[in-house]
Structure 1
Amino acid sequence: MKNYLKICFYVITLIGLLVSCKKEAVLEPSVIKLEYSLPQGNHAYDSRIVNFYQTYKTFILYQFTDADFRWNFNGNISYVAQQADPAHVETALNFFDKELFAYYSPELLKTMLPYKILLCKKIEYTMNTEETPVYSDVASTQTHIAFSNVDAGWDSFSAARKIKARGQLHGVLWSSAVARGKMEQAPAFIEGINYSYVGSWNYKSFGMFNPTSVAADDIFDYVSRITSHTKEAFEAEYLNADFDPTGVYRRRYEALLAYYKTKYNLDLQAIGDANLH
């Protein structure tokens, strides 16, 4: 009798479960609403921006808010920006295509690119204590990199000035990717460096260009210089006996180049050696 009751209990329980499953609503996948809408305008170049997003899932924005530019999860960065001049966005896109994106494989770009790229007319440093404004070619947060000079002033830049801007672009792409954990540092490049102990009194002994405690800033300093100097110019300026008496800068420079050549078949110095396209 006890076994009979047990069997009845199990059968009733099973029927209840089956009925409840039938009543349960069918789960539908949630639809994620995109934060930005493309295209932002009806210019001929807007289709290029849409296609770029479809390929890399990175927004290129020439219209943005102050919060888009400044907010970095837990506070504002020390820069303010003006939106790009729409009449010069296509010039900026051409520069990106020829002087930045062309040097990286699509797979590497998909890894390195941030959520958004902001095109700006001016980027101004807000912590400046001098009366004369201090402007920057680039800035970044955990979600974006920003590029300045997207206005009529670009047309008057010399080739040397544009090559400097190219270096800044490569530098901020790398520093952003390192900060977000998308690219690792070359082991021999950071060997022996505890960034927590770097200060104005000892940074040169580590082969650093600035006394920063942020590893991403360190990679920016090297990549921006390498990609805006020929090999000969870099050696003459930074690897001479006066600037680099112990050879630590040369060791780090060579370690950086060798690692990314081997790992990604990417020659950073070749970018610096190239003329503008």
Structure 2
Amino acid sequence: MKIYLNILHVLLILVGMSSCKKEKEALAPSDIDITYHVPQGNNPFDQTIVNYYENYGSYLLYKFNERDAYWTPTGWRKPVVGSAGSWSVGAEVIAAEQSAIPAQLDLLDKSFFSLYPQSFLKQFLPVKILLCSKVDSIYTAYIFNPTYTATKGIKKVPAYYSYDNIAVNYGDATINQMSNAEKLAFLARVNQVFFQSINERALIKPSTEFINSADYSTSNASQAVAYGKGIIPSYTSSITPVSDWNAYVMAMVTLSEADLNRSVANTNTSAVGILNPTKDTNGLIKKRYNMVRNYFINTYQVDLQAIGNKSRGL
């Protein structure tokens, strides 16, 4: 009897293992290829793309599918319309026209790659850069006809970040008609979303010096109180050392020194004027600004403010 029970026990284990194996095989998305390869063709510009991959470890793709553009571990990010007519936030993208890719790569090099050391890009670039002929930011807009009705809002943007990719625009004939203002807007946006990707992936932490230089333990009754403590995000938000650090980074990347030194009321929550005594009443913002700027210069040889100045044509 004991021998019989042991044999039965072994058989049950084997059946269970077989069921688990079949279940895992059924769940595996074997029909989806999530690997990327370059070159994607035999055009002269494909070698440039291969060189970027070899230097930075990021794939520049001009052939991609919806999964490449919209999939994330927490859900699909392709904008969709709801039952009430409202749209989910996101971007719609279309792959670049191959005839425009040489000019697009040149624009990307001048506006982005050339601004950083190779080591920084290799460490912090997302997996993919999608070369696009269209990058449209989608949002909910409202029209009055005859009552307010939700509708699809569309805004062309130079670049957009989503999970593991940055989609860049102007991969079509419009690249040959770009004004200087549009080129500056492209530079500003692509660098902004690059640091957005770094911040959202939590790849660069605030320094200990920065964390210890402000009081995060007490609440702020007003924006002026927050500025007086050297804290620059909106005082109504949930402020942490990380969100404060990220706000300093984005202020430098997106604004010039002239913008930051402009006199603006201390009730204003934008980063404009944070280095002016009107907002920086105790000189703490300037002190902490230098901490962040010097950290990036000393650690990564990247001057964030030089990028912000360049985005303003300086």
TM-score for the superposition, normalised by structure 1: 0.69
Give the secondary-structure state (helix, strand or coil) at the position aligned to 1:79. Answer: strand
Distance (Å, rounded) in 2 between the aligned partners of 1:120 and 1:177: 21
Give the length in aligned residue pairs: 241
Paired residue for 2:304?
A: 268
Give the secondary-structure state (helix, strand or coil) at the position aligned to 1:118. Answer: strand
TM-score for the superposition, normalised by structure 2: 0.62
C-alpha displacement of 1:117: 0.8
Are the counterparts in 1 of residues 130 and 168 from structure 2 also a CA contact under 8 Å?
yes
Are the counterparts in 2 of residues 39 and 47 from structure 1 also a CA contact under 8 Å?
yes
Give the structure with the higher percent strand.
2
Give the secondary-structure state (helix, strand or coil) at the position aligned to 1:266. Answer: coil
Alignment of 1:1-277 (within 5 A): 35-77=35-77, 78-130=90-142, 131=151, 132-187=153-208, 205=226, 206-208=231-233, 223=249, 225-236=251-262, 237-239=272-274, 240=276, 250=286, 252-274=288-310
Distance (Å, rounded) in 2 between the aligned partners of 1:40 and 1:139: 22
- More displaced 10-residue stretch of structure 1: 55-64 or 130-139: 130-139
Q: Deviations over 1:198-253 (max 9, x none)?
A: 9xx97994412796889988777655553454322342243346666676764553
Are the structure 2 counterparts of residues 234 and 48 from structure 1 closer, same or farther at C-alpha, using a change threshold of 3 Å?
Answer: same
Are the counterparts in 2 of residues 120 and 146 from structure 1 also a CA contact under 8 Å?
yes
Structure 1: where are the runs of 5+ without partners?
1-32
One-letter code aligned to 2:115: Y
Are the counterparts in 1 of residues 233 and 239 from structure 2 also a CA contact under 8 Å?
no
Are the counterparts in 1 of residues 192 and 254 from structure 2 also a CA contact under 8 Å?
no
Give the secondary-structure state (helix, strand or coil) at the position aligned to 1:145. Answer: strand
Distance (Å, rounded) in 2 between the aligned partners of 1:188 and 1:109: 25
Are the structure 2 counterparts of residues 50 and 215 from structure 1 closer, same or farther at C-alpha, using a change threshold of 3 Å?
Answer: farther
One-letter code aligned to 2:126: P
Are the structure 2 counterparts of residues 168 and 143 from structure 1 closer, same or farther at C-alpha, using a change threshold of 3 Å?
Answer: same
Q: Deviations over 1:78-121 (max 9, x none)?
A: 22212122222222211222222222222222111111111222
Give the structure with the higher percent helix.
1
The percent identity for this pair of structures is 25
Q: Deviations over 1:36-71 (max 9, x none)?
A: 232223322111101221232211011211221111
Are the structure 2 counterparts of residues 223 and 94 from structure 1 closer, same or farther at C-alpha, using a change threshold of 3 Å?
Answer: farther
> RMSD of the alignment, in Å?
3.7
Give the secondary-structure state (helix, strand or coil) at the position aligned to 2:41. Answer: coil
